[in-house]
Structure 1
Amino acid sequence: MTGGFALNVLDASSVASSVGLLGLMAIIFAETALFVGFFLPGDSLLFLAGALCAADAAASGPRLNLATVLPGVAVAAIAGAQTGYLLGRRFGTRLFDRPNSRLFHREHVERAHEVLRRYGFGRAVVLARWCERS
């Protein structure tokens, strides 16, 4: 492809070489803020960003600066988390109006409330991350 701009958001190296830090920040923001961001390669992109920060200056290809990557990614993650919270607060109650839609089931909410009541918020988050669904 000559003269074109090819970007594959599902390929971490394509994002890093095409849009650099801004692309990295956009993907981290989308993963934390938006429901549709779950398929984006955030973890592998962070790993690649670290490798590109450590890349030898003599090497050809894209390079990133660690001094800009660290605060940029932190800002994107925090802004994404806050945006996701605000979107959930604003539009989340609409899910309760339709108790058994394709994405939402009342029984899941009741199970989540039971786990939170039983274990508390801190333990429930850890358990939810590493325990298998029963």
Structure 2
Amino acid sequence: MNAMTAMRQYQSVNTQAQAIEADPHRLIQMLFEGGLTRLAQARGAMEREQTALKGELLSKAIGIVGGLRQALDLEKGGEIAANLDRLYEYMTTRLMEANLKNDLAIVEEVSDLLREVKTGWDAIAA
């Protein structure tokens, strides 16, 4: 087992342990963190012209955004939840476009949007 494989395995176990102990607010924070990490990794893959890896990472980011969208309570969340639902749908569409066009600017745009929503979410806990 090489060092990178060992580190990935450790990170996976660490993330699973955090998820088991996390409250719902922290779980959403972890989704934001995971999405931002996947987008940063996808940018790197795009810069290195690693097409398959880029597609895999953008697909994971899309899945995370989908998880954030599914976590919304549209009945109780009112206008804020509805707006977030539309924003997450937009992010998903843009990430699919970024994958097809190999467009770093779109990945940056979605990263900025996700970071902004995460900042608001983080402020709720404080």
Q: TM-score, normalised by structure 1?
A: 0.31
- TM-score, normalising length from structure 2? 0.33
- Rg bigger for which structure? 1
Q: Which has the higher contact order (CA 8 A, sep 6+)?
A: 2
